[in-house]
Amino acid sequence: MKYTFPESFIWGTATAAHQVEGNNNNCDVWAEEYSEGSPYKDRSGDAVDHYNRFKDDIKLMADIGFKSYRFSVEWARIEPEPGVYSKAQLNHYREVIQTCIDNGIKPVVTMFHFTSPQWLMRYGGWRNPETADRFAKYCEVVIREIGHDLDYVLTMNEANLPVMLKELFVNLEFVAPVGIDAKSWTAPGWRESAASKCGTTIDNYFTFHMASDDSSIQVVKDAHRKARTAIKKCNPTIKVGLSLALPEIQTIDGGEKNAEQAWHDYFTQFRSLFEDDDFLGVQNYTREVYGSSGALPVEEGREVTAMGYEYYPEALAGVIRRINGEISIPILVTEHGIATDDDSRREEFILRGLKGLYDCIAEGIDVRGYMYWSTFDNFEWSFGYDMRFGVIAVNLETQERTIKTSAKLLGEISQSNTLPQ
C-alpha cells in the first residue's frame, strides 16, 4: 500500500524563540533561570544561537527537504517596554520570514510561546485582565508590520498547558517529572528573586504558566479572542488559530469519570475559545491512562522516552479522532516528537505517528499538516539541554549542526509527500 498525503499537505519542523535564539534576557523565563535558587537545570544562555544563525539554519532545513518552519516571534524583544516597539526587532523577524520564503519554506508563526516581557509582571502578568488588550496590541503591531506574507498564525502555544501544570506552578504539590528536583520547585525564595529581576514583587508576579484558575484562564481566553480580531483586521486572509497540548486520554474499568474530567480540563473547557478559529493546532507526545484513582503510572515493562513519557506514537491518531468528533475546523499538527538519544527510536516514532495520521486523513478528517518537534536539540525549559527532541543535533561548544538520520527521513517524506514502504 502506498501512503500518499494530500498535495497541499504541510511538512516541517517547529521551534520556540526562547529555546533556540539565545540571550532572550528581557523575558520572565530568563529571570527565573537566573533567580537565586532557580529550579531550572540549566540556563538558556546562547541556546543554539538561532537568532544570529537563522539564515544558515533555514537554508539547512530547505536542503534537508522541509517545506515549512513553525517558529515564534518574541514579545519581549519586540516590545521591550510597554507601548515601545522595536523597529530593529521587527526587521529581524521580517528577515526571518523572508528567508523562509526565499528558501521555499512556508513560515508558520506563533505570536506567544510561553515567554512574556519582564515588564508585564509589574502589571500583574497573566492575572491582570488588561494583559489581553496588551497582547492583542502587540499582535496587531507585528502583523501590520511584517505579516503580509503569512498564511498561518497561532496566537499562543498550548493555551491549556497551565492547567496541566497546575500542581507544579500553583499548588506546588506534585510528583516531579524525570530529571526535575521536586525540592527545588518548592524551595522558598526563588520566585521572589525572579519577581525582583522583573522589577516587581511576588504579589504581582504571575507568569503564563501560572494561569490555571478561572479568572486567569479567562484572561488567556480574552487574549486569544482579541488577538485573533486584531490579526484579522490587519490581514483578513491569514488563517488564525492556537495550539493545545493533548495527550490521548484512555481509561480502564472504573476510570471513566477521571478520564472525562481530564479531557474536560485539557480540551472541553477551551472548545468555545477556538470554535470560530480557522484551525486548531494539536500537540501530542503520548497517552494518559486513567483508573479509579486517577492517572496511572506507565505500565511496567513499557518503553518510555527520556522525558518519562510512554513511547506511544499511536496517540497522535487517537487524539485526532476524538477531536474530530467534537469540532468542525481543520487540524494542524503543530508538534509531535520524542526526547531520545537513540535516533532510530525517533525514526520509528515519526513513521508510526504518520501512519496513524494518514489513516485519519483517509477516514475524511481534515488534517492540513505535520510539524515535528523540534528542529534542533535545544533548551528544553526547566529540563535544560539534556532532553534531545531535535532532528538536527547541535554542539553547544561550537554551535556546529549535525543532520540526524531522522531529519533525512522526514525530509524525504516531505519531498515525496509519501511514507516509505
- Tell me which residues are annotated as active site: 158
Strand partners, 284: 336
Buried b (16+ CB within 10 A) or exposed e, 194-225: bbebbebeeebbbbbbbbbeeebbebbbbbbb
CA distances 94 to 34, 58, 73, 80, 97, Å, are 30, 14, 10, 17, 5
Q: What 3-state DSSP class applies to 59?
A: helix
CA distances 2 to 5, 363, 416, 419, Å, are 10, 16, 11, 7
Residues in the chain: 421
Q: Which residues contact 29 (CB under 8 A, 6 or more apart)?
A: 18, 44, 114, 115, 207, 381
Closest CA to 342 of 311, 315, 378: 311
Look at strands 287-291 and 294-295 and give their pairing. antiparallel
DSSP 80: S
The CA distance from 154 to 208, in Å, is: 16
Give me the DSSP letters along 106-119.
EEEEES-SS--BHH
CB burial of residue 175 (10 Å; 0-12, 13-18, 19+) = exposed
Look at strands 248-251 and 279-284 and give their pairing. unpaired
The CA distance from 12 to 332, in Å, is: 11
Residue 310 near residue 303 (C-beta atoms within 8 A): yes
CB burial of residue 73 (10 Å; 0-12, 13-18, 19+) = buried
List the beta strands (DSSP E) in 285-362: 287-291, 294-295, 331-336
Look at strands 294-295 and 248-251 and give their pairing. unpaired
Strand partners, 290: 251, 295
Q: Which residue has the cell 510539524?
A: 371
